[in-house]
Structure 1
Amino acid sequence: MEVLVTGGTGFIGEALVPALLDEGHSVTVLTRQSHPSPIAQARFIQELSELSESETPIDVVINLAGASLAAKRWNTEYKKKMVDSRVVLTQRLGEYFRSVKKRPAIWVNASAIGFYGPRNDEALTESADTGEGFAAQLCRDWESAAAEAAGDARLCLMRLGVVLDKSDGAYPQMAQPFKMGVANWIGDGQQWLSWVHRDDVVAAFCHAIESSDLRGPVNVTAPHPVTSRDFCEAMRKVHRTLLAVPMPGFVMRAMVGEMADELLITGQKVVPQALEASGFAFNHPEIDVALAAIEA
C-alpha cells in the first residue's frame, strides 16, 4: 500500500519507516527536516503540495508528527508549539485529503495515555473517560482533529505510553542515574509507569494497518505496567548501583515545572485491551525482558 508518514524522522518514525518498507509498502515521509537521514526506497517531502494526484493515491496515513512533551519546560510558547505541531498539522492533513479524488482508507494517528490524566491505581482500558490537565486536553484536541481529518477512513488512535529504547526517548535520561551507580525513583515510588518497548510500538502500528477490525482508541502500552519503585528494581538488575534514593517531588517541580505533576510525579495504570483482543502479541511484555533487550 501507499503510506504517508508524518514525523517519519522522529524517535518512532525512524524505526517504523524501515519496517513498513520491509513489509512491502511504499512510503512517503512528510518531514520538516531539509536533509533527513536517508532511508532506502522511502520518498521525503516537506510540503503536502509535493503529493500529486497524478501519482498513486495514498492508501494509509500514519500521523506521528508532534513536538516532544518532555523536551522543554512548559511555558506558553512551547505549549503552543506542542498544540500546533499536532492539532494544526492534523487539520492541514484533513484539508488536503478532502481536496483529492481518492481519500485514504486507513488513518493511524498517534496520541498518548496523557489522555486519561492522573488516575492513581485505576486500571484504564480504552473505554476510560478522559482526565484533566494540559496533556489530557492536548490529546483530546488531537484525537478530535484526527477524527475529522480521517473522514470515513478506518481510524486508529494510538495512545502511546512511555516508549523505551536505548537510543532516544525517555530511557537515556531515566537510565543516567543508574549508570552512575545511583538507583532512584520519583516521589513515593507508587505511581504507575505504563511503558512499552519501541519495537512493540512499531509492530503495533504495522498491526493496526493490517487488522481490519481494529479501530478507535488503542492503548499502546505493555500489558504489565509497573510502579516507579518496580522500575527501579528492574533497572538494578541490569545496572550495578551502590546507592538507592528517591527523587523528591518538589525537586522535580523545581527542575521541570508543570510537566512534573502531569507526566512524572503522577501516572496511569493503562491496559492494552484493544490490541490484545485483536490478536497482537507483545515481544516485550515484561519490564525485565524489555530492559534486558535494551541493554543487550
Structure 2
Amino acid sequence: MYVLVTGGTGFIGSALLPRLRGDGHEITVLSRGRHADGGGIRYVRTLDEIADDATVDAVINLAGASLNGRRWTGAYKREMVESRLDTTAAVVELCRRLARPPSVLVSASAIGYYGDRGDEPLDEQSSMGEGFSAELCRDWEGAAREAEALGVRVCLARLGVVFDREGGAFAELSRPFRFGIANWLGSGRQYLSWVHRADVIAAFAFLLEQEDIDGPVNITAPAPVTHRELCAALRQKLTTLPGVPVPGFVMRALLGEVADELLLAGQKVLPKRLEAAGFRFHYPAIDSALGQLLGKP
C-alpha cells in the first residue's frame, strides 16, 4: 500500500513510520523540514509535489501544533487551529485532484472533543463538550469528513493522552516522582484517559485495514485512571514521599487556559469501537504500561 503521512516526523509519526515500513507499505511524508529520501520513504514539503496521477492508497493525517506546547495566547490558538485545518483541507484537495482518490483517510483528533465530563463514561456516541479543545476537534473532524464526498473512508482517531518513555505527557507527569516527590494535579479525582504510544501505532495500522470502520474511533486504553490512581500506581514502581496535590490555582497561574482544559479537566473515555472490532491492546491497564515505561515490571 502507498501511504501518505502528514506530521510524520512528530511524536506519533516518528514511531508510526517504522511500523508502516515493517508492514510493507511505501510511504510519502509531508514535512516542513528537509529530509533525505531512503528506506522506502519519500519526503515532500508541500502536497503540490504529488502528481495528479500518483498512487496514494491511504492517508494518515497527524499534522498540527501541539496543544500543550506552550501557553494558549491568541496567536498560538490561531496557530493550533490553522495548522490542523489548513493541512487537512490540503489533504482533502489532494484527494479531490488525484486520478484515483485514496481508499481511506485516518485523521487524528483528540478526546478534547468531549470536554470536561467528570466521571461520565464516554464512547464514540457521546456528545461534544464545551471549550476551545472541543470546538477545535469538531472543526478538525469536519474538515477531514469533506473527503467522504469523494468516496474516501474517513476514520477520526480521537487520541487520549499518549504515554511513552521517549517524551510526551508521561515525561512531564512522572518527573516529580523520579525525584522522590509524589503528586497529583488539582483534586486528583479527574479522569485521565491515557494510552501507550505502542497501542496508538497499532491502532492506526489496524484502522488502515479495517474496511468496515469509519467515523469517530477513541484511541484510549480501556482502563482510564484518575490522577490520584496514577499517583498510587507510580508510587508502586518508584520510591517517593507521601503524595501531595498541586493546587488548581497554581496550575492556572502557571499555564492559564491550558490548565483548565488539559490538566484539571477530566474525561473517562472508553475505546468501544476498537474493542468491538477485535483490537487487542498491548497495555490495557496502567500497571503494565508503567512497568514498560519505567523498566520496572
| Counterpart position of 1:222 | 221
- Relative distance call for 1:138 and 1:207 in structure 2 (3 A) is same
What secondary structure, in the 3-state scheme, does the structure 1 residue paired with 2:262 have?
A: helix
Deviation >4 Å, runs of 4+: none
What secondary structure, in the 3-state scheme, does the structure 1 residue paired with 2:230 have?
A: helix
| Counterpart position of 2:112 | 114
Q: Is the 8 A contact 1:183 1:243 kept in 2?
A: yes
Q: Using the TM superposition, give the Cα deviation of residue 150 of structure 1 relative to its aligned residue in structure 2, in angstroms.
A: 4.3
Q: Using the TM superposition, give the Cα deviation of residue 149 of structure 1 relative to its aligned residue in structure 2, in angstroms.
A: 3.2
| Counterpart position of 1:59 | 57
- Relative distance call for 1:90 and 1:233 in structure 2 (3 A) is same
Aligned partners of 2:285 and 2:221: how far apart in 1? 7
Q: Using the TM superposition, give the Cα deviation of residue 39 of structure 1 relative to its aligned residue in structure 2, in angstroms.
A: 6.7
TM-score, with length taken from structure 2: 0.97
- Which runs of structure 2 are paired with 1:181-200 in the superposition (5 Å)? 181-200=180-199
Aligned partners of 1:228 and 1:254: how far apart in 2? 20
| Counterpart position of 1:271 | 270
| Counterpart position of 2:32 | 32
Aligned partners of 2:52 and 2:126: how far apart in 1? 40
The answer to whether 1:21 aligns with 2:38 is no
Aligned partners of 2:160 and 2:63: how far apart in 1? 16
- Relative distance call for 1:214 and 1:95 in structure 2 (3 A) is same
Q: Is the 8 A contact 2:51 2:98 kept in 1?
A: no
Aligned partners of 1:150 and 1:65: how far apart in 2? 19
Q: Using the TM superposition, give the Cα deviation of residue 109 of structure 1 relative to its aligned residue in structure 2, in angstroms.
A: 0.4
Q: Using the TM superposition, give the Cα deviation of residue 41 of structure 1 relative to its aligned residue in structure 2, in angstroms.
A: 2.1
Aligned partners of 1:16 and 1:118: how far apart in 2? 29
Structure 2: give runs of 5+ residues left out of the alignment.
none
What secondary structure, in the 3-state scheme, does the structure 1 residue paired with 2:237 have?
A: coil
| Counterpart position of 1:82 | 80
The answer to whether 1:145 aligns with 2:139 is no
Task: Tell me the matched-pair count.
Answer: 294
Aligned partners of 1:175 and 1:35: how far apart in 2? 33
What secondary structure, in the 3-state scheme, does the structure 1 residue paired with 2:273 have?
A: helix
What secondary structure, in the 3-state scheme, does the structure 2 residue paired with 1:14 have?
A: helix
What secondary structure, in the 3-state scheme, does the structure 1 residue paired with 2:182 have?
A: strand
What secondary structure, in the 3-state scheme, does the structure 2 residue paired with 1:130 have?
A: coil
Aligned partners of 1:231 and 1:40: how far apart in 2? 39
Percent of aligned pairs with the same amino acid:
53
Aligned partners of 2:192 and 2:214: how far apart in 1? 25
Q: Using the TM superposition, give the Cα deviation of residue 85 of structure 1 relative to its aligned residue in structure 2, in angstroms.
A: 0.8
What secondary structure, in the 3-state scheme, does the structure 2 residue paired with 1:182 have?
A: coil
- Which runs of structure 2 are paired with 1:140-289 in the superposition (5 Å)? 140-151=138-149, 152-289=151-288
Aligned partners of 2:186 and 2:98: how far apart in 1? 51
| Counterpart position of 1:102 | 100
Report the AA paired with residue 215 of structure 1.
D
Aligned partners of 1:27 and 1:290: how far apart in 2? 29
Aligned partners of 1:102 and 1:161: how far apart in 2? 33
TM-score, with length taken from structure 1: 0.97
After superposition, the C-alpha distances for 1:170-200 in whole angstroms (9 at most, x for unaligned) are 1111111001110000111100000000000
After superposition, the C-alpha distances for 1:101-153 in whole angstroms (9 at most, x for unaligned) are 11111010000000000001110010000000000000000000000034321
Report the AA paired with residue 284 of structure 1.
Y
Aligned partners of 1:26 and 1:135: how far apart in 2? 33
Aligned partners of 1:69 and 1:18: how far apart in 2? 25
Aligned partners of 2:15 and 2:214: how far apart in 1? 23
Report the AA paired with residue 131 of structure 1.
G
Q: Is the 8 A contact 2:185 2:246 kept in 1?
A: yes
Aligned partners of 1:252 and 1:133: how far apart in 2? 18
| Counterpart position of 1:131 | 129
| Counterpart position of 2:46 | 47
Q: Is the 8 A contact 2:72 2:256 kept in 1?
A: yes
Structure 1: give runs of 5+ residues left out of the alignment.
none
